[in-house]
Each structure stands twice: as structure tokens, then as C-alpha cells.
Amino acid sequence: MATVTSKTGQAVERVSFDSLLKRRLFYTPSFEIYGGYSGLFDYGPPGCALLTNIVDQWRKHFILEEDMLEVDCPAITPEEVLKTSGHVEKFADWMCKDPKTGEIFRADHLVEEVLEARLKGDKEARGQRIEVDEAKDAKKKKKVKDIKAVKLDDAVVQEYEEVLAKIDNYDGKDLGALIVKYQIKNPGTGGDVLPPVAFNLMFETNIGPTGQLKGYLRPETAQGQFVNFAKLLDFNQQGMPFASASIGKSFRNEISPRSGLLRVREFLMAEIEHFVDPEGGKKHARFDEVKHIELDFLDRNTQLEGKTNITRMSIGEAVSLKMVDNETLGYFLARIHLFLLRIGIDPKRTRFRQHMANEMAHYAADCWDAELQSSYGWIECVGCADRSAYDLTVHAKKTGAPLHVRQVRDEPLKFEQWEVALDKKKAGPKFKKDAKAIDDALNNLSQELLEKLSLELREKGKVDIELPETERRVELEKDLVTIEKHQKVIHTREFTPNVIEPSFGIGRIIYTLLEHSYWYREGTEKAAGDTEKRGVLSFPPIVAPTKVLLVPLSNNPDFKLSLQKLGTRLRHLGVSSRVDDSSVSIGRRYARNDELGTPFGVTVDFQSVKDDTVTLRDRDSTKQVRADVDTICNAIKSMVDGKTSWADTQKELPEFTQQEVD
């Protein structure tokens, strides 16, 4: 059974954590009254608010802070665009079908599942303790029910372990060979499976009524940004470097999605495409601002040694050691880290893992994932790749669009060059239809050859050249041809920018944030018989779904006016609040809002009606202070904006020690 580790180090079975999230409607399986469909989830009210706040922070942290050019493109993408990008051909997983039952397995998962089950059976037969690898277990589609306690040869054990370590590296042919070699069958029935075939992960559809125009739902937002490059460069008044950004849904038709929000068929992405001149080492103007920031790195070499130990160092050092390829990539790794910190991700459960050479696309220069640890193991939540000039180059080649930058050189480029010219007026009548072939042949001569020929022309008064297609040679007199050295000055430079792409999976970040924010209080004895664990989600105020809960002590109508005044005052300060005037005890109302992650609570009581004072409760400590409405509202505003902490508020305002009424 997978276990969620709370931020205070408590262990909770994931099933009970999940039930909190469903009970409070953070998210829920979509279309559940129709039986549910795997890989599709709905966000409920607190999930939506969390999502909106995180996206808002993302926009401020990245787009506004760096004047990025946001674009919003359709999810529906014509086939031609995704053919060019390579997705139609390559964006696939390998699947195996059981022809008897019709079941479909993801081939790598099937191999993994069966071999792991056999290794477990072996351990059992050897009387060893079985350590359940939660992370891998959770990734499995279907548990192998019958782990037979069969002892394997030591050599076989080693072979299986090597296969499992390299499971991400096999293609369909390799996986098919493994299935044959190790006699891997349908784990449920023992039946044979067919050899792996590629299954494209894009959802396919038709655009328009003709049935002639195929389209896909985009698997990433990036292509919409690339095809707009020339317009964005114009909008940026030709300034380089610059970044575009997109926040929107992407779609992947997973073969068999599981792991809750971590592997879904429709998901929100936030992607940046930072366009940078490939010359000059991809420096970043603001790198100095972040170079001192320390990150936990798991680099390629460490992984090649089969290890997972973390190297902690500053991003400045990592770039200077060339572990991280360049400043721009390093700058974004640090900025990603700051963003995750800001929204409440636990830095102790964050690491930056470098892609192995065979994990990356062939064109990528370097790639790092921000991996966050949860009960599902270490999960890629942000990717940060240097995609080189690949995408712009292929789209430009396919369409002829000028997806490049033309810059005036600081210093004009000066050089000498041999140039040849045929006198076409004379050559035409003389050579007739050969004239063009001769002209082409001359223009294709190398600088070396031209130099040689110019000498020949000066010495002999003629040259003879070969016509490539026909292998005939023709003789050209000096009145027909000139070969001269010219001084050339080039004032502009053209280049295709490279792209650094930080790419965020917002749903994965949200799920991890929920785990990282979670802990529980033991139920108090006072509540009759109520000793259950009381969950708390300690979101930072900045992303909390609701900032303030307003609680009247009872349904006494006198409290109504005070509540209205409070709500209006907070709204004017830009702070969202919510009233809970249900008839249950204040303690229960606060407990509900602790599960919703509401950081502050304000209680209106009889005293409030008399002297306009209210109590303010802190979610995490349950401590309370009391002051007049204005003071309390300002204190909340300051904490919500992140300018002060609860500790500051507690120092300034008198504590209120009356017990919560349970």
C-alpha cells in the first residue's frame, strides 16, 4: 500500500489522503455517474481555485517578470504541422494485444510488471524480505496476481535486473524480443500476446465536413509558438533574445492511464520557448541574479554509474563546470526552482535530473527535469530542454517561411572573393541551348578552381571547363568570361535561433503540492468519541483556494451585518473570503476548512457586535489573535501578499486564548 509522507513526517495511506481530496472535491474522476473513464479528471471548486492561483503566479513569475510574449493557439492542429514536427511519425508508445481477450498492454509496462513479479517470487523462494517499490508498483496497469515463489538462477536474476534498469531504452523490436525470450504472457490469463506495434498517442479527428483534412489534438503547446516565430519577432521589434509562452490544454491518448492526476489524457501545460542566438555561448543577461542559488542535481554521469546521489551546488558553479550546458538553461533551472518554492513545493523533495543521452531527442543539446517526490516516486513535473534550432529549421524548410533572425553586424564582415561572369549577350548566340549549362557550371566552381582558372585565362587567353551533366568540355575565350577577385562587405547576419524550453505540467505540480502541503492533527478528546486524524493542507496563502473563512459564532442575526462589512472590506483589499454559517460547531467548521487549506479564519461573536473586534485564527498553529476589524483585515492582506508571516502578526496583536468551541 502506497504511503503519503506528510510535511511533518507522518505516514498516511494514500487511499485515505485520496479520500480527503475527493471529499473536498479538489478533483474527481470525470463522468463518474457514467462509470468513469480512465485518464480524465475534473477539478472541483478548491482545485479550480488552486489551479487559477498557480497559473496566476506562473504568469507573474515568468511572463510579466520577463516581458514574455504570450500566445494562445488552438488545440486542434492540422496533420501537416505535426508531420513536420515529427509527432505523426514518432509520438508513439508500443502496445501488445492479447488476441484472445482483446486486452491491450503497454509493452514496456508489461515486461516490467512480469519481470518484477518473477523477481519477487524469487525473493520469496529465497526467504528474503520483499521490499515493495511503491513507485513502480503504482505505475503498473494490472498487478500480477499469482506471484509464484519460484527460485531463479542467479544469472537470470541479474539479467532481469539489467533489463529493468534499461526499460526506457528499448524500442518495439527490442521489447518484442524480450517478450519472446522471457516468455512473457498476459498476466491475467497466461495467454500469448502479439508482437508490439506502435500506437500514436495523439487524438485524431477531422477538420471540417469533407473528411479530407485530418487533424490532431496537440500533444504540446510548443508548435503553435514555433509557427508564429516570425510574427513574434516582428512584435518584439526584432529584439533578441526573447521568449514566447503559452498556457493551455494538451492531449495524449495514453494506452492505459493510471496514477491519478500524474498520467492523464488531457492536461494543462505552461510552456516557454526562449529564443536565443546560438553564437556566444547562450549567455543570459540576468544570470548574475540567480547564480548563487543552490540546487540538488542528479547529473547524467552519476546515473550512468547506476547511482542516484545528489550533487548540491550553485547554478553558477554547475554552468561553469559545464554540467549544465549554458547560462540560459541554468537561468531557467534556477527560475523554475524559485517558482516551485513560491507556490509551496518542498525543496527537500525537489531535484533536477539530467536526461541520459538516449532519453533526449536527437537534436536536443541538453535537458533537465525538475522532478518532485511524492508517493508515486520521483515524477517529472517540469522539463527544461535545449531544443537547439530543430523546430524552427524544420518548419522553415517545409513552408519556406523566414523563421530566422537577420541582424545588422556590429562590425561588417569583410573578405575577398573570386567572382566569375559570363558575357551572356555573346555566349547566348554562340552556345545556344548550352549557354545556361555553361553559366551554371561557372557559378558552381570553387574559389580554388576560380583562382586557378583566372591565372589560366590571363596566361592562355582562354579556359576550358567541364559541363557536369554531359561531361563535355567547352572552351571559353577571354572576351566571353571574366574572373576577378572582389572585396566583399556583409553588413547583416542571418541565423536560426536556438530554443530553451521550460515546460510545466500544471496537474502534476498540483498533485505534488497537495501531498507536500498535507499533514494531520490527532483528533482532540473533547469532541465526544472523535479521535480521528484531522487533515490539514498547509498551502502558502498566495495559492490557497480561499484566503479567509468568516465564521459567525451562531446564527444570531446580529452577526450578519458584521460579516457583510468584513467581506466587503476584504474584497476591497483584493482578498477572497467565504462565509460558513452552517449550524455545526465552530471547531467542525474550522476542521473542514483546514482540509480545504484556508489559511485564516475570522470569528464574529457577541463582542464583535459591541466593539467591532474579531478573532483571527491561523490554520497551521490554530493560535488566535484579537483586534478591531481594520487591523485584522490589514494583517490578513499583508500575510496574503507574503509581506509578513503569522509570527509577525502574533507578535503585534494580542493573543486570544478562548478555546474553539468543538
Of 559-618, binders to its own copies (CB under 8 A) are 571, 574, 576, 578, 582
Minimal distance, residue 278 CB to its own copies, in Å? 22
List beta partners, residue 639: none
Pairing of β 11-13 and β 3-5: antiparallel
Report the residue number, 117 or 227, with the smaller CB distance to its own copies: 227
Report the residue number, 573 or 653, with the smaller CB distance to its own copies: 573
| Best CA proximity match to 390, nearest among 278, 536, 249, 234 | 278
Say whether 51 sits in a helix, a strand or coil. Answer: helix
Interface residue with its own copies among 13, 15, 19, 78 (CB under 8 A) is: 78
Report the residue number, 262 or 463, with the smaller CB distance to its own copies: 262
Please report whether residue 495 would count as binding its own copies according to CB under 8 A.
no
Pairing of β 600-604 and β 548-552: parallel
Please report whether residue 42 would count as binding its own copies according to CB under 8 A.
yes
Report the residue number, 334 or 392, with the smaller CB distance to its own copies: 392
Minimal distance, residue 207 CB to its own copies, in Å? 7
Q: Which of residues 85-104 bind its own copies (CB under 8 A)?
A: 95, 102, 104
Minimal distance, residue 131 CB to its own copies, in Å? 32
Q: Which of residues 249-288 bind its own copies (CB under 8 A)?
A: 249, 251, 253-256, 265-266
Report the residue number, 72 or 612, with the smaller CB distance to its own copies: 72
Minimal distance, residue 410 CB to its own copies, in Å? 16
Task: Please choose, out of 204-212, 343-351, 492-500, 602-610, the segment that lies near its own copies by the rule CB under 8 A.
Answer: 204-212
Minimal distance, residue 308 CB to its own copies, in Å? 32
Task: Please choose, out of 197-205, 303-311, 320-328, 609-617, the segment that lies near its own copies by the rule CB under 8 A.
Answer: 197-205
DSSP 59: I
Binding mask 211-240 for its own copies (x = CB under 8 A): --x---x------x--xx-xxx-xx-x---
Interface residue with its own copies among 73, 147, 167, 445 (CB under 8 A) is: 73
Report the residue number, 81 or 427, with the smaller CB distance to its own copies: 81
Task: Please choose, out of 31-39, 126-134, 420-428, 555-563, the segment that lies near its own copies by the rule CB under 8 A.
Answer: 31-39
How many residues belong to the site for its own copies (CB under 8 A)? 76
d(CA 113, CA 136): 9
Minimal distance, residue 232 CB to its own copies, in Å? 8
Enumerate the H helices of 482-620 as residue ranges: 506-517, 558-572, 586-596, 606-611
Pairing of β 69-70 and β 242-251: parallel
Distance (Å) of CA 466 to CA 222, 429, 433, 440: 49, 20, 16, 11
Minimal distance, residue 104 CB to its own copies, in Å? 5
Omega of the bond leading into 402 within 30 degrees of 0 (cis): no
Beta strand segments in 190-308, E: 197-200, 204-206, 214-217, 242-251, 266-276, 294-298
Please report whether residue 437 would count as binding its own copies according to CB under 8 A.
no
Instruction: Enumerate residues 6+ apart whose C-beta is below 8 A from 212.
Output: none
Binding mask 395-434 for its own copies (x = CB under 8 A): x---x-x-x-------------------------------
Interface residue with its own copies among 13, 16, 19, 31 (CB under 8 A) is: 31
Interface residue with its own copies among 49, 184, 345, 616 (CB under 8 A) is: 49
DSSP 142: S
Cell 496533420, residue located: 79
Beta strand segments in 127-225, E: 197-200, 204-206, 214-217
Please report whether residue 496 would count as binding its own copies according to CB under 8 A.
no
Report the residue number, 481 or 596, with the smaller CB distance to its own copies: 596
Minimal distance, residue 644 CB to its own copies, in Å? 15
Whether the Cβ atoms of residue 190 and residue 219 lie closer than 8 Å to each other: no
Please report whether residue 205 would count as binding its own copies according to CB under 8 A.
yes
Cell 474584497, residue located: 571
> How far is CA 40 from its chain centroid?
19
Say whether 48 sits in a helix, a strand or coil. Answer: helix
Please report whether residue 509 would count as binding its own copies according to CB under 8 A.
no
Report the residue number, 247 or 319, with the smaller CB distance to its own copies: 247
Say whether 116 sits in a helix, a strand or coil. Answer: helix
Minimal distance, residue 580 CB to its own copies, in Å? 9
Interface residue with its own copies among 17, 43, 170, 418 (CB under 8 A) is: 43
Please report whether residue 74 would count as binding its own copies according to CB under 8 A.
yes
CB burial class (10 A; 0-12, 13-18, 19+) of residue 626? buried
Report the residue number, 231 or 651, with the smaller CB distance to its own copies: 231
Angle (CA) 364 369 374, round 5°: 155
Q: Which of residues 440-479 bind its own copies (CB under 8 A)?
A: none
Please report whether residue 209 would count as binding its own copies according to CB under 8 A.
yes
| Best CA proximity match to 45, nearest among 72, 15, 24, 19 | 24
Report the residue number, 208 or 280, with the smaller CB distance to its own copies: 208
Task: Please choose, out of 33-41, 180-188, 277-285, 478-486, the segment that lies near its own copies by the rule CB under 8 A.
Answer: 33-41
d(CA 370, CA 296): 10
d(CA 344, CA 599): 13
Interface residue with its own copies among 10, 30, 314, 650 (CB under 8 A) is: 30
Please report whether residue 636 would count as binding its own copies according to CB under 8 A.
no
Instruction: Enumerate residues 6+ apart whose C-beta is below 8 A from 468.
Output: 441, 444
Whether the Cβ atoms of residue 515 and residue 537 lie closer than 8 Å to each other: no
Cell 526552482, residue located: 337
Cα radius of gyration rounded to whole Å, the chain? 33
Length of the chain equals 662
Minimal distance, residue 310 CB to its own copies, in Å? 34
